[in-house]
Structure 1
Amino acid sequence: MHREIDVIIKKLKSDLDEMDSKYLAAFYKHEEEIKHMLSDITQTIADLKKILNSDDMGLFSAYKSRNAEFRRLPPKLKVTLPRFSPQKIDKQHISVHFGSLSELSIKTKEQNYTMDSSSTEHCPPERSLIDVPQIITEIKTDYKYAETVSCLSYDDIWIRGNSNILKLYNLQRGLLKSIQTKSRNRAYDIAVTGNGDLVYIDKTNRTVNIVKNKEIETVVTLQGYTPRGVCGTSCGDILVALNNDDWATPSKVVRYSGFTEKQSIQFKDNGQALYSSGCYTKYISENRNLDLCVSDWEARAVVVVNQAGKFRFTYTGLPSSTKKPFYPYGITTDSQSHILIADLDNHGIHIVDRDGQFLRFIDNCHLESPFGLCVDTRDNLFVAENKTCKVKKIQYYK
């Protein structure tokens, strides 16, 4: 048995090294069509690291390598590696490690590397919405009501509810881990980073906190603003939606890189506020085309800006698809750059495309007060229901 485990561990480390030094680097910061593959590789790396740090035999035995999928690189990539000095570098043995990818530049030219000749497809492939979305599985949480859900892997999800305890659930095995917030205040939003770390915001003491293993570190402390929504980005930054304390100044979205403020998004070019003021929660998600999507409950709208913070459009719901006014809650995006929005009062999920065009309203699956949303790297939708305290995993693509 120990020999079999050693073989599995060796294979895990081999897969991790291959993806870490080759495939993730090759896809990083490339054109929009491979953003889905980047997310998939990053999530898989986090999953592999989790398995290697675990003593759970079930995770070892259930492991299936996906490296064959990641060998199908797009056909016209040229990877230019950073220059190093003064040492002379053997180009045949260069290893680019995860965490230092910002120095890479990738240009679209004729390929100059070996690739499987059978693979000429681009990512992500176009997918079609199914006519009738269906529940794959569901779990009952221990909260009185569930609010936010964030995917750690295909089967492991972090959930935030009505207490100061953050809980990690596995869809098959139930509760895996419980973490109490550092201040013992209730968390107001959560997100999982590309490294698999959990980030949460503490509205009461105005902080952004990161959980690594069981250690909690406060990485941002705010003055004059209160954090109300958080998400990770494809490049490793963190986006935080902030409400001003005076309730008259419009809210804003701040990008943190290395937990240092890098960008502030608050107004349109004409000086008009992008987001409402006041104390209401604003959930946020980065789309695959790098747009920033904010669910603004007070404004009854989803506001979308591009990566530079320039206003693109506002989505205010589709009256013909709902009976009650549109008040958006949780928000997430998928591999097709579709935006999914929780409509709690109408017990459904809006799906719109990257330009704000309405595509579908999911009102089956017996949804009751959907609040939090997230999508895994296989485009399965997780819905946290505020009323039933359940989390449902839903298939909505063919």
Structure 2
Amino acid sequence: LLQTIQTKSGEHPGDITIDYEEYLLYSDWVTMKVYKVKNGKTEVLIRLQGWMPINLCVTSTGDLLVTMFSVDYTQSKVVRYSGSTAKQTIQFDDEGKLLYSGNQRIKYISENRNHDICVADCGAGAVVVVNQDGKLRWRYTGQLLVTKNKPFKPRGITTDSQSRILTADRDNHCIHVLDQNGQFLRYIDNCDLEYSTGLCVDNNDNLFVCELYKGNVKKIKYLK
């Protein structure tokens, strides 16, 4: 154990990530702030009003994407930051409709190799993908089979070297693999997965899966 960091609110962080300088960032929805831990000291990076930050993603260009929800639980959005400065807000489609559900706080987020922004929206039962300009590209609402009969509620998301998108279907105990255009490719369901949530793919396309109630992290080789 090298270091333990206590959150400012005393509650669990909404999410953690590492920025381009390799400093730890974490969101604290209670204080409505995103913090940066630098040289052992915790400083405020982003201060919000009326919005609570949850999930974080550092992009290939060094920007920070933050998913957040309104304090009245009616709206969610993604905001892109350069340092502490907001430079893009992604909330509505071209018809003025909300891109993301407001009834579920957690919106897992990842950036694809083609710079698409991929969000697993559990409340909407969908993966929502927009391009770098925030324009809706597609939605994926699941692939129903007899053996996968519970509602699709994606709980985690990641992308790999071929711009495939992997999302955790917790209640159906599997991972959905999609191509960059939202086409279903396959399930990963042969690894005795139970209630999978957080996902991560490393530089060698190894998949790491967190199992919520078992307390396991599984490493899976899903490509030949």
Mean Cα deviation higher: 228-237 or 177-186: 177-186
Q: Hey, what's the Cα distance between the residues in 2 that align with 1:350 and 1:279? A: 21
Displacement after TM superposition at 1:221 (Å): 1.2
1:261 aligns with 2:89: no
Check conservation: 2:104, 2:122, Cα contact below 8 A.
no
Residue by residue over 1:1-20, the C-alpha shift from the partner in whole angstroms, topping out at 9 and shown as x without a partner, is xxxxxxxxxxxxxxxxxxxx
Question: 5 Å matches for 1:161-200?
Answer: 177-200=3-26
Q: Hey, what's the Cα distance between the residues in 1 that align with 2:88 and 2:34? A: 16
- Say if 1:293 and 1:396 are closer, same or farther in 2 by CA, change over 3 A: same
Q: Hey, what's the Cα distance between the residues in 1 that align with 2:96 and 2:8? A: 38
Residue by residue over 1:349-389, the C-alpha shift from the partner in whole angstroms, topping out at 9 and shown as x without a partner, is 11101000001111121211111011111111111110111
- Residue in 1 that maps onto 2:161: 335
Residue by residue over 1:177-222, the C-alpha shift from the partner in whole angstroms, topping out at 9 and shown as x without a partner, is 4332233221111222233222211111111112234322220111
Residue by residue over 1:320-368, the C-alpha shift from the partner in whole angstroms, topping out at 9 and shown as x without a partner, is 2622110011111111101110111111111101000001111121211
What percent identity do the matched residue pairs reach?
56
Q: Which runs of 5+ in 2 are unaligned?
A: none
Q: Hey, what's the Cα distance between the residues in 2 that align with 1:345 and 1:222? A: 33
Question: 5 Å matches for 1:30-69?
Answer: none
- Residue in 2 that maps onto 1:90: none
Check conservation: 1:244, 1:278, Cα contact below 8 A.
no
Question: 5 Å matches for 1:62-101?
Answer: none
Q: Hey, what's the Cα distance between the residues in 1 that align with 2:165 and 2:186? A: 11
Q: Secondary structure at the match of 1:298?
A: helix
- Residue in 2 that maps onto 1:313: 138
Q: Which runs of 5+ in 1 are unaligned?
A: 1-174
Residue by residue over 1:267-300, the C-alpha shift from the partner in whole angstroms, topping out at 9 and shown as x without a partner, is 1111111111134211111111000011111100
Q: Hey, what's the Cα distance between the residues in 2 that align with 1:393 and 1:295? A: 21
Check conservation: 2:15, 2:27, Cα contact below 8 A.
yes
Q: Hey, what's the Cα distance between the residues in 1 that align with 2:24 and 2:117? A: 20
Q: Secondary structure at the match of 1:345?
A: helix
Question: 5 Å matches for 1:282-361?
Answer: 282-320=107-145, 322-361=148-187
- Say if 1:375 and 1:258 are closer, same or farther in 2 by CA, change over 3 A: same
1:362 aligns with 2:188: yes
- In terms of Rg, which structure is larger? 1
Q: Hey, what's the Cα distance between the residues in 2 that align with 1:193 and 1:214? A: 15
Mean Cα deviation higher: 301-310 or 194-203: 194-203
Question: 5 Å matches for 1:133-148?
Answer: none
Displacement after TM superposition at 1:246 (Å): 2.3
Instruction: Tell me the amino acid that sits aligned with residue 41 of structure 2.
Output: E
Check conservation: 1:382, 1:392, Cα contact below 8 A.
yes
Q: Which has the higher strand share?
A: 2
Q: Hey, what's the Cα distance between the residues in 1 that align with 2:102 and 2:28? A: 19
Q: Secondary structure at the match of 1:341?
A: strand
Q: Which has the higher helix share?
A: 1
How many residues are aligned here?
223
Instruction: Tell me the amino acid that sits aligned with residue 353 of structure 1.
Output: D
Output the aligned Cα RMSD.
1.4
1:278 aligns with 2:95: no
Runs of 4+ in 1 over 6 A off after TM superposition: none
Q: Hey, what's the Cα distance between the residues in 1 that align with 2:207 and 2:20? A: 18
Check conservation: 1:284, 1:295, Cα contact below 8 A.
yes
Q: Secondary structure at the match of 1:208?
A: strand
Instruction: Tell me the amino acid that sits aligned with residue 344 of structure 1.
Output: R
Instruction: Tell me the amino acid that sits aligned with residue 112 of structure 2.
Output: N
Q: Hey, what's the Cα distance between the residues in 1 that align with 2:194 and 2:48? A: 35
TM score, norm. by length of structure 1: 0.54
